[in-house]
Amino acid sequence: MLNRDKFFIGGQWVAPSTKETLDVHNAGTGDVMGRVPAGGEKDINAAVAAARAALEGWSQTPVEKRAEFLEKISAGLKARAEELAKLIAQEVGMPIKLAGRIQAGLPIANFANYAKLVKGFTFEETVGNSVVVREPVGVVGAITPWNYPLHQITLKVAPALAAGCTVVLKPSEVAPFNAFLLAEVIESVGLPKGVFNLVTGLGPTAGEALVKHPEVDMISFTGSTRAGKRISELAAQTVKRVALELGGKSASVILDDADIATAVKATVSGCYLNSGQTCTALTRMLVPESKYAEAAKVAAEVANSFTLGDPLSESTRLGPLTSAAQLERVRGYIKKGIAEGAELVAGGPDAPQGLPGGYFVKPTVFGKVKPGSTIEQEEIFGPVLSIITYKDEDEAIRIANDTLYGLAGAVWSKDDAHAQKVARRIRAGQVDVNGGAFNMNAPFGGFKQSGHGREAGVYGLEEFLEYKSLQLKG
């Protein structure tokens, strides 16, 4: 059992204001794996006060020194990478091989990357008779999700610290232990007191207290669109800056001249990464009507090749969902798809055989899904793929764009120029062209109700900076 009974505030481990705790479950077994404190307004107030007190000193710390701390944090995480991967595999359910590369590897890389980026960043320039300066936005409240817990924490904390901001982190209560490990690393490298603070708790209590706090200058949130709307409402009362990375319903558009087998295999893999618990998951596969039968056959074969199992097993390709609530939600959507008349090509709502515990759902594929239906429009956040047919390219683009979301997408064609032309017409923050690789320095974020603001690379650093103009006398 992992039991954490203190918060990291002002450079110290301090007792919470209440005795309430939150159970954290092992995704692979369903058992309670540990507990964390359920913080509230008093704890948030203490953390914000510590961050505010540390702001002036940290914001004036030379860029090279801030970069040095980021490098040390990266090294500290790297030294505990194996422990981190195993921990998040249990919290979230991602198979251990992938957890090592993604859940542990990306945070290690991003802390180091921001150390490099900030050293080369131009913090001031001369424009006419003005010196235009970039300054830290101030105290940042970071509220993060459970699906890529430390990765999403890092995409907020690393650039915020690089920019000269101080941070109060409220991680997801579903997968919080990795945040405590980060706090231990931060403590070990000697980051000045109050620059980074950690409080765990529920969204309606700790989260809302952080968003409403008048001494918090910015909220950076990753999570559901519903929660993002609530945060926007609360933050408006103090006119603080808000960056939101929200839901998605991303379309993989397979054009008529594409290699069907390659495109379908990559799309299914893009849908099932982290058991479909990925905001950019390619959950809608658009194929020409004439290619439907072939695409459905390949999709079923690929889906059935994803072996379910213990996330700590090296042979597991598809782990469990993260929680009982997620399991109920995803199975509910699968039942809804069947009820609405979609063709069940693979998987289904029944519990998979041979897995006694954990939050497992069969890798599922629906065919002949109608545009506008529930499973075609709503974010399911599980390993559920919808195949939609189209008559011509214009209809494909219209269907791809016809959701509330605009986070990601993909286009497949044997003609790269043609694929890029179609990709430019898709209203989404990032579009993979013929399987283009993830780029940690490219801007990450969405259009429409997928949010606003960008994370990653220099674009993520700029989110935590304000402009100031010094008008000089000639």
Assign 344 a pLDDT band (cuts: 50, 70, 90): very high
Q: What's the pLDDT at 50? A: 99
Backbone angles phi, psi at 210, to 5 degrees: -70, -45
Averaged pLDDT, 210-237: 98
Q: What's the pLDDT at 49? A: 99
Assign 466 a pLDDT band (cuts: 50, 70, 90): very high
Assign 168 a pLDDT band (cuts: 50, 70, 90): very high
- Catalytic residue positions? 245, 279
Q: What's the pLDDT at 15? A: 98
The CA distances from residue 388 to 160, 286, 382, in Å, are 41, 5, 18
Assign 189 a pLDDT band (cuts: 50, 70, 90): very high
Report the share of the chain in percent with pLDDT over 70.
Answer: 100
Averaged pLDDT, 128-137: 98
Torsion of CA 448, 445, 372, 324, to 10 degrees: -120
Assign 356 a pLDDT band (cuts: 50, 70, 90): confident
CA distance 446 to 44: 29
Structural domains for the chain: 2-246+450-471 (3.40.605.10), 251-439 (3.40.309.10)
Q: What's the pLDDT at 474? A: 79
The pLDDT tens digits of the residues spanning 235-286 come to: 999 999 999 999 999 999 999 999 999 999 999 999 999 999 999 999 999 9
Averaged pLDDT, 427-447: 97
CA distance 432 to 288: 19
CB contact at 8 A, 380 and 283: yes
Burial class (CB in 10 A: 0-12, 13-18, 19+), 311: buried
Instruction: Tell me the average pLDDT of the chain.
Output: 97
CB contact at 8 A, 90 and 24: no
The pLDDT tens digits of the residues spanning 387-409 come to: 999 999 999 999 999 999 999 99
CA distance 250 to 248: 6
Averaged pLDDT, 76-103: 97
pLDDT at 176 over 80: yes
Return the CA Rg of the chain.
23
